[in-house]
Chains A and B, each alone.
Chain A
Amino acid sequence: GESVGLHLPTLSVQEGDNSIINCAYSNSASDYFIWYKQESGKGPQFIIDIRSNMDKRQGQRVTVLLNKTVKHLSLQIAATQPGDSAVYFCAEGLENTGNQFYFGTGTSLTVIP
């Protein structure tokens, strides 16, 4: 389900440290997941995706981990930089609903220089 009206979870990390952002998804049938980054005043920007037949996928400085048993997704950012400060959303896709995605409430990441 979705959480409406709650304050965004926040995460503050020191520049250069690794960040881990977590997301619990709601539907065990979801088979496609995306992490988006949204900077202030901008639209969400695709970071990385993963399908349910995988449990890990790596990109440039980012890794997504999927644990289907507990319906949990995480985004790891290595060597966090000030430009990584943003709100991060996970989205779950349900194949039997076509291409509709459900978004979590997001986590606000602040990188301290």
Chain B
Amino acid sequence: NAGVMQNPRHLVRRRGQEARLRCSPMKGHSHVYWYRQLPEEGLKFMVYLQKENIIDESGMPKERFSAEFPKEGPSILRIQQVVRGDSAAYFCASSPIRRGRPDTQYFGPGTRLTVL
């Protein structure tokens, strides 16, 4: 049973370029979450998605950032016109929802984005 998969593991972009981060949830999980982590800090919630639906994007910057989770394929976090401050580790987690209550989120290995 494969865990949450993220690719690429490392991504280097120059200022102004676009970054695309992919996340495939665990089998049977239909809920995906994206978090951002700066060095020596905790995880900051960005967005929560179900298939074809954004449930909560309150933690995601309004500009340059977008996320999707299509019916087929992985979830994608897209950062347009990257700036140095976007350099961070981006983690994806997935979970089932049992009876409408929060349940355990399982994390992927993360994508480390470096903006030059």
List of A residues within 8 angstroms of B104 by Cβ:
34, 46, 49
Give the A-binding residues of B (Cβ under 8 A).
4, 6, 31, 33, 35, 40-45, 48, 55-56, 91, 93, 95, 97, 100-110
Given A34-B104, A44-B107: A99 in contact with B42 (beta carbons within 8 A): no
Let me know if A99 and B45 touch, CB within 8 A: no
CB nearest neighbor in A for B40 = A8
5 residue pairs, one from A and one from B, having the closest CB atoms:
A93-B102, A43-B107, A103-B42, A103-B43, A105-B42
Let me know if A4 and B41 touch, CB within 8 A: yes
Tell which of A7, A8, A99, A104 touches B103, judged by Cβ atoms closer than 8 Å.
A99
List of A residues within 8 angstroms of B4 by Cβ:
43
Given A32-B102, A43-B110, A95-B102: A7 in contact with B40 (beta carbons within 8 A): yes
Let me know if A99 and B33 touch, CB within 8 A: yes
List of A residues within 8 angstroms of B108 by Cβ:
43
Let me know if B95 and A102 touch, CB within 8 A: no
Tell which of B95, B101, B109 touches A95, judged by Cβ atoms closer than 8 Å.
B101
Chief secondary structure at chain A's binding surface: loop
Let me know if A97 and B42 touch, CB within 8 A: no
A62 sits at the interface (CB 8 A): no
Selected A-B contacts with CB under 8 Å, 21 pairs = A2-B42, A7-B40, A42-B109, A43-B110, A46-B105, A46-B106, A89-B42, A89-B43, A94-B102, A98-B48, A98-B56, A99-B31, A100-B33, A101-B33, A101-B105, A102-B45, A103-B43, A103-B44, A105-B41, A106-B41, A106-B42
Q: A77-113, CB under 8 A of B: which get 1 and which 0?
A: 0000000000001010111011111111110000000
Known: A8-B41, A101-B102. 13 other contacts (CB 8 A): A34-B105, A36-B107, A44-B91, A44-B93, A44-B107, A46-B105, A49-B104, A89-B42, A99-B95, A99-B102, A100-B48, A103-B44, A106-B41
